Amino acid sequence: MKLLRLDLLVVTAAVCFFSCSREEMPRTDKTRGLIRELLVKLDSTDVYAAKKEKVVEALKQRLPGETDQERFTLYYDIAMAFSNTMADSSLVYLEKAADVAQLSGIDSLLFKARIALAAQLSEYGYYMEAHETISSVPRNKLVGDLLVRYYRTKGLLYRGLYSDYNEPRSFRRKYREQFNIYRDSLMMVADTMSIEYLRSIERKEARAGNIAEAKRYNDIRLSLIEDHHSAAYATCLYDRFATTYIYERRLTGEAVDDLLASAIIEVENSNQDIASLLRVESLLYGNDEVKAAKKISDYYFSSLRKLGSKARVVGVVEQTIKISDGNTRLIQRKNKELWVAIALISLLVLALVETLLKISRSRRKIIALKDNLERSDRISKSYIGVSYQLYSSYIKRLDLFRTKINSCLRKGHIEQAIELTSPSGDIASEERRELFYNFDRAFVDIFPDYIEVVNSCLKPEEKIIPKRTEILSNELRILALIKLGIEDNAEIASVLHCSVKTVQNLRSILKARLAISEKEFYTIISEL
């Protein structure tokens, strides 16, 4: 019973230990495949980078161009190609585009270059330089797409400022207000079916808690983007994930799939500033998929270093340190859990071994009990057979004796009849010898090891060796009767046709010859 309670305790502890794991990241049927695809894509980043370099080299081959307009377009396109790959190169080519536009005297090109330059500076965390650059653009001279870009760049600047936790809270609140003003201004001048308008109103509805409306605008954006492998499509998928995870404050398998798909597209486009990767890393890390999270973390950190974004690198360093510390703690916790698991498994093994030993012992006892029952059944049948044989023999002898007396009386041989029934005759002795012989033979047949067992309990020099003319000696015969349940001296004397004193003397002599205690001896005889 104690072992059973121990086993139950150990098993309960093990079940509790293994069930107390972290909550699983929501998944769909596609999630695991998307994770594998992302990790494979990370192994091919050199291939995607080479493709982008070919595009840039093809543009550079066309320099310097035949006109200022063509030269401006080439510099601008090269800068945009570098925008998510190498910050310095992107800024250099935007400045060249601005110089070309200024020399050409075309204000729209100059404003376009300066607005793009301010946007890139904001994205890279150079907020003062971005403010100076955008301030050099006269808003009252902007119309159409340039005005939309101007408001968008102003929004980027103030979004970066209110997201910077190094800024005082009061400043960040003002920056947030300025962001809202420029976002609303953009929405007032942009085409309602443009990507900029739809993204702005989607974010506005999401922040207001109108999740269904936000997702509706996101669906419209997705339908407008024809290239499902473009950066714009990746951004749209990421925004869809953000609406569910950040603003709706819940995580679904579909949202995780959107995030993974966004990250895959960004990797394919050799984008070095992949916000979705940071989220994927965080989710995998929180789900104890340490190896995958570490691979993504290493790529993300190295890509941002290559990009050269001040704001991104500072942010990712803090995140990397956090992940590194978390990984160390996680490894320590895993090691601790592993040792606990080993200890629990060891206890289970010990309990199992002990249980198997007890089962084995119980099995042996059951087998022995079965053998004893079978043996008892054979003994019972033997007893019945021997008893029937003895009684049948005595009936025959009695019938024969009666026939002899009857014959003598009929023939008038009175003296012969008297002689047969005379107390001085030895017929009783003969019958007694016959009884003892039949009893001894039957007993030894039922208990073939009886004499050996008795002698094993006696002193070596006191072993009982029956005479050649007998099977059992008087001492062995007395023990045989005790074995059969006849323990009273008077009853034994009656069966053996001797005095009670004789029985007592024989038992006393036997006791003196024992090599073990009398109690132990009779226990052995009873279990024979």
Q: What gap in Å lies between CA 224 and CA 410, rounded to an integer?
A: 140
**322 with 301: CB under 8 angstroms?**
no
Q: Domain tally for the chain?
A: 1
Higher-confidence residue of 109 and 380: namely 109
DSSP 430-477: HHHHHHHHHHHHHHHHH-TTHHHHHHHTB-GGG-----TT-SS-HHHH
Q: What is the pLDDT of residues 53-89, one digit of tens each?
A: 898 899 889 888 889 899 999 999 999 888 878 888 8
Domain annotation covers residue 452: yes
Judged against a pLDDT cut of 80, whether residue 120 lies above it is answered with yes
Q: What gap in Å lies between CA 58 and CA 294, rounded to an integer?
A: 35
Higher-confidence residue of 324 and 336: namely 336
Mean pLDDT for the chain overall: 81
Q: Which of 79, 74, 144 is nearest to 114 (CA)?
A: 79
Domain annotation covers residue 250: no
Domain annotation covers residue 309: no
Domain annotation covers residue 220: no
What range does the domain containing 455 cover?
432-527
Confidence band (pLDDT; 50, 70, 90) for 5? very low
Domain annotation covers residue 506: yes
Cis amide linkage into residue 26, ω under 30° from 0: no
Q: What gap in Å lies between CA 434 and CA 450, rounded to an integer?
A: 21
Judged against a pLDDT cut of 60, whether residue 18 lies above it is answered with no
Domain annotation covers residue 484: yes
Average the pLDDT over 342-349 and give the result. Answer: 85
Domain annotation covers residue 477: yes
Cα distances (Å, whole numbers) of residue 244 to 29, 239, 515: 19, 9, 90
Higher-confidence residue of 385 and 441: namely 441
> Taking the model in full, what pTM does it have?
0.57
Domain annotation covers residue 509: yes
Average the pLDDT over 460-481 and give the result. Answer: 84
Query: What pLDDT is recorded for position 114?
Result: 94
Query: What pLDDT is recorded for position 500?
Result: 86
Q: Which of 263, 274, 266 is nearest to 302 (CA)?
A: 274
Confidence band (pLDDT; 50, 70, 90) for 16? very low
Confidence band (pLDDT; 50, 70, 90) for 502? confident
